[in-house]
Amino acid sequence: MADLDDINTRILRELSQDGRISNLELADRVGLSPSACLRRVQDLERKGIITGYRAVLDPSAMGVGFVAYIGVGLGEHTKAVQEGFERAVAKSPEVVECHNITGTLEYLLRVECADLKSYKTLHTDVLGTLPHVTSMITYVVMGSPKDLRS
């Protein structure tokens, strides 16, 4: 982990909670002058610690009513098979996260669909037809009491 002092840590915490905060407000919250604060933020960006800023979207307002995690097992564990699987799921807009994991399964996917019917289509017609997929375990999200993405 990067060597961060207390002020940089506070800057990162504030920006992760509100990426649109003005430099003036950010400086006030972390106890710096605006120019010193701006220099620190630019340094954190230059070092690649801050890699970007994004909008936080409300899934339900966008028609997402079904969220699940899917554990996916592959029959072969070669680099070519893994890369093929990753290319295939990258084309599916319902797959919003894809993580290569350790353990009994190779991948953990986060999927967001309109409803159960559209999830079934993704499960059966997309993921279920991919070569080397031997197992899928679905965990339906019923609530997210802590989600740092929102």
| Alpha carbons 7 and 27: distance in angstroms, whole number | 10
pLDDT of residue 56: 85
Domains of the chain by start residue, with CATH: 6-46 (1.10.10.10), 59-140 (3.30.70.920)
Percent of the chain's residues with pLDDT above 70: 98
Per-residue pLDDT tens over the stretch 111-145: 999 999 999 999 999 999 999 999 999 999 999 99
Q: Which residues of 56-68 are buried (b: 16+ CB within 10 A; e: fewer)?
A: eeeeeeeebebbb
In the chain, the amino acid numbered 41 is V
Give the chain's mean pLDDT: 95
Mean pLDDT of 10-28: 96
pTM for the model stands at: 0.82
